[in-house]
């Protein structure tokens, strides 16, 4: 399915009397988000994390925008770069933006304390995996008020329709949370998310790094090293990546003998704190 077909889908949905929505990853697409916010009134968009336990992250969380035309310049620009995995498109009934927002707010936090997790519904890769795995009868409880969705599958655009759009309760055992994720996709998503974070929060260091080597390749090497050491928690990955991005404080990062991953991590963490002056000997 080509870009022209995506715009045709958008035009068809509008002709049917539906409204168009852009579900945008605002953390990864801040420039696009700001441009859209500037041209949308407060009734034309919703920050999904607002009015949820994630309200403090609302500014960095996904935003759902109403789109009036397939010719919207900002949408056209996003359609040209689907590989950036900026989100996806949906059609909804008139005045259903609040209902769609409530639908995803009810699904964005999964599990129970202390084992809660964040479901990245706005990521087109998560949408692709879910819709490729769940049966058609489970689509309504997943897509809610969305009538039809259009998204990038990694190599082409796809459209899937909702057989029963509307308000649906969250099932006790959501099918979309039981979707197996290939290791290669997990690593690709991790790489992409960390890479965006680094450019947003540590751009100066990445620019200096780019004078010596490709930052994307460097990041892949750090993630490979983390796997070899058995480091997989967010705290461990953040520690390794940030501290190898900066001027080195340690002579050696290698584990000692049969040191297990957590002991290895805690030893290096304490050493970095000591040499950076955060703790005394």
Q: Scan for tokens 């359609």, then name that residue.
A: 79
- pLDDT tens profile 16-71: 999 999 999 988 798 999 999 998 999 999 999 999 988 888 888 999 999 988 88
The 148-152 sheet, strands edge to edge:
45-47, 63-67, 19-24, 87-92, 148-152, 157-161
- pTM recorded for the entire structure: 0.66
Query: Where do the domains of the chain lie?
Result: 3-178, 183-275
Report d(CA 267, CA 156) in Å as an integer.
46
Name the more confident of 183 and 235: 235
Q: Inform me whether the pLDDT recorded for 276 exceeds 80.
A: no
């Amino acid at each position: 399915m080509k870009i022209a077909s995506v715009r045709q889908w958008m035009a068809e949905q509008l002709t049917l009397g539906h409204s168009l929505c852009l579900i945008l990853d605002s953390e990864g697409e801040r420039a696009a988000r700001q441009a859209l916010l500037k041209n949308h009134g407060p009734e034309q968009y919703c920050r999904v994390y607002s009015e949820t336990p994630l309200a403090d992250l609302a500014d960095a969380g996904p935003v759902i925008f109403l789109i009036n035309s397939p010719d919207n310049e900002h949408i056209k620009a996003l359609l040209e770069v689907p590989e950036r995995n900026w989100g996806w498109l949906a059609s909804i009934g008139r005045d259903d933006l609040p209902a769609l927002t409530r639908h995803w707010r009810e699904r964005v936090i999964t599990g129970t304390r202390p084992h809660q997790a964040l479901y990245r519904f706005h990521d087109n890769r998560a949408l692709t995996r879910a819709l490729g795995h769940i049966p058609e009868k489970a689509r309504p409880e997943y897509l809610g008020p969305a009538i039809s969705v259009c998204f990038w599958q990694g190599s082409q655009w796809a459209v899937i329709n909702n057989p029963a759009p509307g308000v649906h309760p969250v099932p006790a055992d959501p099918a979309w949370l039981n979707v197996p994720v290939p290791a290669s996709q997990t690593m690709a998503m991790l790489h992409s998310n960390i890479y965006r974070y680094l450019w947003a929060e540590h751009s100066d260091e990445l620019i200096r790094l780019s004078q010596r080597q490709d930052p994307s390749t460097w990041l892949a090497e750090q993630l490979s090293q983390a796997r070899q050491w058995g480091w997989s928690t967010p705290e461990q990955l953040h520690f390794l990546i940030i501290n190898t991005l900066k001027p080195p404080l340690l002579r050696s990062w290698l584990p000692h003998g049969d040191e297990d991953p957590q002991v290895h991590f805690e030893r290096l963490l304490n050493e970095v704190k000591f040499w950076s002056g955060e703790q005394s000997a």
